[in-house]
Structure 1
């Protein structure tokens, strides 16, 4: 598992609090969690997202992710 990083300026879609979201990658899946309300979102790898087999799944519920350079 990679190091968990906070997403500066991001607002939780569930509780609307700012600067409470943290992001990390686990088994090639991007994960976001709110430390205030424990709301979670995931993003599948691009190769899986492009597959027609998972169209319409939870990948549509993921918020944008900021990746520092």
Structure 2
């Protein structure tokens, strides 16, 4: 299966600051962003999975009365 990569319009690369050079795609439930001008590449979990990870780290909330 071929993965479709899409450019992010108006976005600037955090490494080289080149505009309109970032492209995004999803592979195995992991989002990837890479710059075609430099070697910048970043991966992250989708937003719905990031929230679940944060909830697992939370034990409880103390509310004094």
Partner of 1:29: 30
Q: How much is the aligned-residue C-alpha RMSD, in angstroms?
A: 2.2
Deviations 1:27-48 (A, max 9, x none): 011100000002011121322x
Q: Distance in 1 between matches of 2:3 and 2:53?
A: 25
> Does 2:13 align with 1:9?
no
TM-score by length of 2: 0.70
Map 1:1-69; keep pairs closer than 5 Å. Answer: 2-45=3-46, 46-47=48-49, 49=50, 50-52=52-54
Q: Distance in 1 between matches of 2:39 and 2:7?
A: 14
Aligned positions, number? 54
CA radius of gyration, larger in: 2
Per-residue deviation, 1:2:
2.9
Structure 2: any 5+ residue segments left out of the alignment?
Answer: 58-65
TM-score by length of 1: 0.66
